[in-house]
A and B are shown apart, each in its own frame.
Chain A
Amino acid sequence: MADLFLTHDKAKELLKHIASQGIEVFGPVKKDGSHLIEKIKDQSEIDFSYFITANSIKEALFPRYEKILSYKISQEGIEVEDVSIDKSVVIFGGHPCDAASIPLMEKIFGWDYKDKFFLERREKAVILTLACEEADKDCFCTSLGYSPRGEIGSDILLERVSDQGWKLKLLSEKGKEFAKKYETYFQSTLEVDKKYPKLSDKDIPVQFDAKIVKSWIDTHFEDPLWEKIASNCWSCAACTYVCPTCHCFDITDDATMWSGMRTKNWDACTLPYFTLHASQHNPREQHFQRYRQRINHKYSIYVNLFNAISCTGCGRCSRACGAKVNILEAVKMIASAAGGK
């Protein structure tokens, strides 16, 4: 197949066209000074001049809140109405650290209970990822075996070749179909600027050995280091909500006397009442116990269940933290406590 290129202008047109076909399009939007991946409502909001979006692409498949059923109560009984996932999704503009989270999320949502909301949306989603051209001190994907030009989880990888646009790498059948369906938006040539690619794996040095981290966590549940790692954590959920792999949710009802709707809302292990029991006992009463859970889940519990670390090294949690708790620093502290690198 011949080379395919996509320019910024054509990309905007393409996303607008796809949205007009009743497909949900998530893309990079500049809002109040920061870039977010959001459902595109207006083509003019789209902006490609970012290093990394503040949130991850997970919102497209696992929304902040969603209706899972609605019900009506009458003299005849209770009438329950299910929700069907009928819209397809196109996700444009995440990075390889976003896309790499999708196979990880599939594991948890397809585990003992099959979460149709995530899985059906995933099934219908096409994921177009932008290879990274920039990294900052919070990036550490290579320490977890990923790459700024990684292909995991994407249907199409777009590699920047000039300030005007990208070259496409079709990675799956879905990606190939997508390229064919919208072929008029792509072009077979584009002038290549030698300054690209600007970033490769070696620009993001490997900083720790994840195996050593796991073995330390498994044997040091009670350790003063946890208090030190999370001393400044004030227990909000900013880290978990911007994280591409954090997946916890809460279920609430929005109801009147005779009808209501049940919703699935994001929830977070870092919030103080996440583990509060009906008895009022809280097994994770302190901030560092909650932060320990976050690290433990990603670097050990998840590994035991699925043989994969539930972190892609995107560094969003560190950037979002107002108290400056830094996951890379935390994991490095653990690695050095374990005597490793």
Chain B
Amino acid sequence: MENLQKKAKELLSNKEVDLIIGYTSISEQETKPVFIKEADEASKLVFNAFCFNNLATYLTRKDVKAVKKIGIVAKGCDIRAIVNLIVENQIPREKVYILGMSCPGVKDPKNPSEINSKCRVCKVQNPHLADVIIGEKVAESNKMDQKVHHSDVEEFNKKTREEKWQFWTEQFSKCIRCYACRQACPMCYCNRCIVDLNTPQWIDTRSNPKGGLAWNLVRAYHLSGRCIDCGECERVCPVNIPLMLLNRTLQEEVQRSFDFEAGYDLEASAPLTVFEKDDQENFIR
């Protein structure tokens, strides 16, 4: 933590960055995003197993975009989002200074005594893209428990089509259309989301089963091959819709079809945004 504060202070004092987005502590088991512009405020920064927020979502906010050089405290999973934002031309690499945190895993927001299941399969506990890496290197051995993280998808796939349909229509009928999922998501950055286009209104905005289904499926499709598995949408959903079950189902489809996972490689584009001659589907030829 001292290293983080020291580095942040140095960056701000030397004017290497104009703003640092990081975490500050609310209580022993709670942190919140903090925006630091002055060097003497760097002491507010913390990093611990309760740093849930994916701060990359702020990189595309209007006022943040206007900042010349942005420092951001990021775990490996958050860096996957930053990589995607760079790949998708939303932020130039040189505009962001990544304070990459070595991260042995965060807690499960719904059950703080457990480690988050996404952290059990994390390949980037040691950040894969950063301007500085802070914290001790995490040993590679304590992970790769793919089964635990993906057991819900596997379990879900055993259901019949009708059962799946019933499950999701029930879940989506709970949706209150607050768009917390969209706003928390670093990959949901459209200047004007399709649900906000109202001349004509493409997507039903009502909080009823039809509208809830339309919205959540549209969002899931737009994220396929782009979702970086941070789980923020599910964490912030006020009515507890298991959105990551849906996102990971699509993620697995993309992996199976294109052998692709988003957010690791600055040179690789999302499969659904590019055309390759050896794509298995041939309808376009």
Contact, CB under 8 Å: A271 / B179: yes
One of A32, A266, A320, A323 near B184 (C-beta < 8 A) = A323
A31, B58: Cα distance in complex, Å = 31
Query: How many interface residues does A have (CB within 8 Å)?
Result: 36
Closest to B242 in A: A32
1/0 per residue, CB under 8 A from B, across A310-341: the answer is 00000000001011100000000000000000
A24, B205: Cα distance in complex, Å = 25
* B249 partner residues in chain A, CB cutoff 8 A: none
* A286 partner residues in chain B, CB cutoff 8 A: 62-63
How near does chain A come to B177, taking the closest CB pair, in angstroms?
A: 7
Contact, CB under 8 Å: B35 / A324: no
Interface assignment of B69: CB less than 8 Å from any CB of chain A: no
* A36 partner residues in chain B, CB cutoff 8 A: 239
A31, B170: Cα distance in complex, Å = 11
Closest to B57 in A: A234
Closest to B201 in A: A252
* B34 partner residues in chain A, CB cutoff 8 A: 231-232
A287, B183: Cα distance in complex, Å = 11
Contact, CB under 8 Å: B183 / A236: yes
Interface assignment of A193: CB less than 8 Å from any CB of chain B: no
Flag the segment in B25-33, B89-97, B115-123 that touches A: B25-33
* A322 partner residues in chain B, CB cutoff 8 A: 53, 180, 184, 232, 235-236
Interface assignment of A92: CB less than 8 Å from any CB of chain B: no
A268, B176: Cα distance in complex, Å = 12
Interface assignment of A238: CB less than 8 Å from any CB of chain B: yes
One of B110, B176, B206, B239 near A254 (C-beta < 8 A) = B206
Query: How many interface residues does B have (CB within 8 Å)?
Result: 41
A195, B63: Cα distance in complex, Å = 52
How near does chain B come to A278, taking the closest CB pair, in angstroms?
A: 9
Contact, CB under 8 Å: B236 / A324: no
Interface assignment of A54: CB less than 8 Å from any CB of chain B: yes
- Please name 28 pairs of A and B residues whose Cβ atoms are closer than 8 Å in the assembled complex, sorted by A: A31-B240, A33-B240, A34-B240, A54-B239, A55-B239, A65-B208, A234-B58, A236-B183, A237-B180, A238-B238, A241-B177, A250-B205, A252-B198, A252-B201, A252-B205, A263-B206, A265-B207, A271-B179, A273-B192, A273-B196, A287-B61, A287-B62, A287-B63, A320-B238, A322-B53, A322-B235, A322-B236, A324-B30
Give me the interface of B with A, judged by CB distance under 8 Å.
26, 30-35, 53, 57-58, 61-63, 110, 174, 176-180, 182-184, 192, 196, 198, 201, 204-208, 211, 232, 235-236, 238-242
The 4 closest A-B pairs by CB, nearest first: A322-B236, A324-B32, A64-B207, A236-B183
